[in-house]
Chains A and B, each alone.
Chain A
Amino acid sequence: MNEMYIHSASTFIAEAHTDTNYLKEEIRRYTKENFRRVNKFILLTILGARQCINTHALDADTAIYLTTEHGNLGETADVLDEIYEVNSLPKPFGFINTMSSTAAFYLAQNLGVRGRNITVSSQHLSFERGLELLKVDFAGGVERSALIGGVDEASLSEASLEGCAGRSWRMIDGSGWLYVTPEREGAGGAFTEIRSFRDGPSCVRWMSEREISAADVVAFGARIGDEEAASLRDILQPAAEFDYLREYGYSGSATACGISMFVKLYQGKTLLHINRDQRGNYAVIELQQF
């Protein structure tokens, strides 16, 4: 695979119902810009990404790949309530922010970057799909650097867990980001695999047949049940497991948060992250920390 090198990573997580004024205060640690007309999803996006970039100087053509399960859906519900429940015209601030691309737009504007600006959503595998897209864009030479992240609000995330019997975690607001380039110099780690499978057996077959040695650490996404996780552990025999959902909580973008957290916490280790969607599609991400 054309490697994608990780130069910086950061995770911002907060308890459900975190006040937007608190998020604005946190953002002021990284930028003097005063954000008006924004909602919580946009603030979480800006805060997580700014935290990841911190002192990095970005090229003007840096791309932004924002992945999310729910995006601005909360704002959309409020606007629809205004129209159909209150019988009012929608207010423009809310109406503008129903567009899925506003968060990535505000972020690009704040960072002063004019590269590709994409918002990706794909039920339960949004981060994985965004990463696949970025891999293709790096391989094609379309992009030379990118910020890729996953952002979701706690209030909307609970619905994603329907059908995950017995799996309950505390809901969090999550914003996990990585600054990635195809250049190794200065990187702290790399994505060494991002692979999709149409079903579980083909995913298991691929993992069993891999010639390279097993990953040090394994992590499972929210839709991998306890039984399935146990059988995967038997196959992979990992030295450790990173149960970020239990330790830090769940948001629709838990994968992005978990992976960026791994980068911070596990120096010199490799991670194999396995996830699936409700239709039985599987995705595996492997990353190596230098």
Chain B
Amino acid sequence: MKGSLDARLKMELKKLIVDECDITANPEEIGDEDLLFGSESRLGLDSIDALQISIAIQNKYNIIITDSKETRRVMKSINTFADFLQPE
């Protein structure tokens, strides 16, 4: 099953982002298509958050995100992130 169709995985990611990035938000409030990074994003995460998340992902799922371009593409939203972790 693609990650974007896996509700459990997506909630796990939302919780991980809230915990790792020290955000005062409820994981349920993060929409699957919400932008995670940049000034247009409600969460307003930045490159340090991206690094924090990528190390947490590496520790938890043993998956390495190799470069910053890939990080930006993968972490665009919860759906893109979940599809990266679980392609099918």
Contacts and interface: CB of A to CB of B under 8 A. Distances in A.
A and B together in one complex: yes
Contacts of B21: 36
A86 interface: yes
Interface residues of A, number: 12
B58 A36 contact: no
A88 B59 contact: yes
Interface string B31-70: 0000000000000000010011001101100000000000
A93 B58 contact: no
A34 interface: yes
Contact of A36 (B22, B51, B55, B59): B22
Interface string A70-90: 000000000000000010111
Contact of A34 (B20, B24, B52, B55): B24
Nearest to A96: B48
Nearest to B24: A34
A201 interface: no
B51 A92 contact: yes
B55 A37 contact: no
A205 interface: no
Interface in B1-46: 20-24
A89 B24 CA distance: 25
A92 B50 CA distance: 10
A279 interface: no
Which of A37, A89, A91 neighbours the largest number of chain B CB atoms within 10 Å of its CB?
A: A91
A36 B46 CA distance: 12
A91 B22 contact: no
B23 A88 contact: no
A86 B56 CA distance: 12
Contacts of A90: 55
Interface of B: 20-24, 48, 51-52, 55-56, 58-59
Interface of A: 34, 36-38, 86, 88-93, 96
10 contacts: A34-B24, A38-B22, A86-B59, A88-B58, A89-B55, A90-B55, A92-B48, A92-B52, A93-B48, A93-B52
**A-B CB proximity, top 5 nearest:** A36-B22, A92-B51, A91-B55, A92-B48, A89-B55
Given A91-B51, A93-B48, 4 more contacts: A36-B21, A37-B22, A86-B59, A91-B20
